[in-house]
Every structure is written in structure tokens, then in C-alpha cells.
Amino acid sequence: MSRSVRTRPEGSGQALSEAYDTALLDLDGVVYAGGNAIVHAVESLATAREGGMHLAYVTNNALRTPDVVAAHLTELGIPAEPGDVITSAQAVARLISDQVPQGSRVLVVGGEGLRVALRERGLVPVESADDDPVAVVQGYGGPELPWGRFAEASYAVARGVPWFASNTDLTIPSGRGIAPGNGAAVEVVRIATGAEPQVAGKPLPPMHRETVLRTGAERPLVVGDRLDTDIEGAFNGEVDSLLVLTGVTDGAHLLAAPPRHRPTYVDADLRGMLTGQPEVSAAGGGHRCGGWTATAGAARLELDGDGDALDGLRALCAAAWTAAGEGVCELDGGKALARLGL
């Protein structure tokens, strides 16, 4: 079946950590949240690594350098080297370097992660539109980023300087809740200038390219919590994906996912990397997984049976995605999800 019309989560007779050589792991909502490790993450990643799986940490957050991210992971009990971390800052720096001469000046609106990535590609970070930049790059700069930085970017972009963005995630999780992300900051410059940036981060191809170049992955598995970045990025890169339910995606979002947002596998947390995945099979006019059978009724999704809640969710996904085809399922799945506690 074509990847573009996935109608059910897939099964795997092997543990995913054995079936794939490299896990491309998102960080926020997958490995940690608010700076603390998510439950089961540390031990699951250790087991996968000990079994021979290469672990790479892929983030759209351009603020922190790979050194800082690796140090944070190591402090959490997840040993990591800077080379294990791939950021959207690295992806956008390569995108810029492919289009401008080495040694070119680039106006930076963002944090140290962007500056380090630009220097790695032989580019020179500058701070003002009056420094004669040949490009403008914008990445997440944290909550203390001065408003005047957006003005500098706007002045340069309005003069016709090419504009790049590390990513356009509208939100970013924090220890206190959901905060505006780089996409919100990009909107400020877009409104002021009417221009459109070239974007590098997930779910777009430059990020996948950067990740594969740096990891050498041959059978990668994208592991994420967001449908619109992690799972769509896997779809665009034509690789398999595992959605974990430890971040922003809930059951209702998953049932309504269009084809580009439908993961290959679904599990509760990173323990799902260490196991096989159950088969979802056709059953009469519905779909069955474990002890559950899900069908698409006239107005809502129906669920019968009992057993593991995740099996019920997988069966519901199959019923919803089959009913939706290449669109979005509009059937009410609320009652079925409530029965599963999801």
C-alpha cells in the first residue's frame, strides 16, 4: 500500500530497536519535558542503545548548541555526544551555505545555536541590517529575545535580502506550559515585510537531509510526539515513524490525521521501541487489534471488546483512516476514546 494512503498502523514481528538501525528522536515531548526526563525514557533508550541501535536526537529548537543539548541529555542519564544531536540551526546553516559564498555575512535573529551552526559552515554572523548581510536567518531565541531583533530582520528583508528560518513551529513546550515558538516570531517579520522565508526544519526536506548526512542512517525510524513536524517529516522523507503519546498529540488528533500525519506505529512512550507492534487486521466491516474491534458508523466510530487501551486506539485509527481515505475523518470518536481512557 502506498505510504500516502496509510489506512492503519502497521505491525512488526521484531522489536523496533532491532528492525531499524537508527532512531531519529525528537526531544521535547519525547525524551524530556520542561527539562526533566519523561517517564521510561532513560531506561528505554539505554536498552535500545545496548542492543546496537544508534540514537540521534533531532530538534527544531535552534537556540541551544549540540554541545549544550548533549550535556543536558547526559545529566538526565542519557549519555550523548554533540555529534548525536542534529538541530534545525545546522539544517538552515547548510541551506544558506548552498546559496551564498563562504565567508558571507548573515544577519542572525536568534540564539547561540544559530551562530555556532553558521560558523561551522564558514559564514559570519552579524547583528545589524547595516552590516551588509547577504542573508537573514531567524531561529528561536528564547523568551528574552529583544523586540528590536525583529526590526533588524525586517529592515534587511524589506531591502530584498534573502530570508531563512530554522523552523516555523508556532509553539514550544516549557515547564510552565505552551509558549510562542519561532513560528510566532517569523510571523512578526512576515507581517512587517510581506515576504516568505525559506524554511529548513521539520517537517521539510532540508532537516531530513541534514539528519541523514550526519547520522549515516540506512534504516531510520523517526520517533516523535507531533503529527505536523515529526510524523509529517517522516512522511516527506519516506521513512517509517513511531508516534509516542507523551507530548502534544492525543487520541482525537490521531484519529483525524490526514495521510501525511499518519504514523507507521503508535505507542504510549519510548518503551514501544523495545517491542514488536501488534497487527491490525480487517474484521468484517471493521478492524481488529488485540481484544478490540472498531467500525465506522454513520456518524461516529464504534468500539467493541476489551483489553489493552492502545490496541483499541490502533483499531480505531484503522477504522477512522479507512473511512477518511485521503481526507480527514469527521466521525465522532469521543465516546470510544473515553472508553479507552484516552
Residues marked active site are found at 26, 28
User: In which region does residue 92 sit, left (phi positive, over 0), alpha (psi from -120 to 50) or beta (all else)?
Assistant: alpha
Return the C-alpha torsion angle 14, 19, 22, 28, nearest 10. -40
Q: Taking a C-beta distance cutoff of 8 angstroms, is the pair 129, 159 a contact?
A: yes
Mode of pairing for the β-strands spanning 36-37 and 22-25: unpaired
Question: Is the peptide bond between 278 and the residue preceding it cis, with omega within 30 degrees of 0?
Answer: no
C-alpha torsion sign, points 58, 62, 66, 69: negative
What's the CA gap between 72 and 80, in Å, rounded?
9
| CA geometry: angle 23, 28, 34, nearest 5 deg | 140
Angstrom distance (rounded) from CA 236 to CA 275: 26
Q: How far apart are the first and last CA of the chain?
A: 28
Eight-class DSSP state of 60: S
16-52: b (≥16 Cβ within 10 Å) or e: bbbbbbbbbbbbbbbbbbeeebbebbbebbebbbeee
232: CB partners within 8 A, 6+ apart:
202, 203, 260, 261
The residues near 315 (Cβ < 8 Å, ≥ 6 apart) are: 280, 286, 287, 288, 289, 290, 292, 293, 294, 303
Cell numbers that stand for 176 in this block: 510552565
- Interacting residues of 308 by C-beta distance below 8 A, sequence separation 6+: 290, 291
Using only the alpha carbons of the chain, give its radius of gyration.
Answer: 21
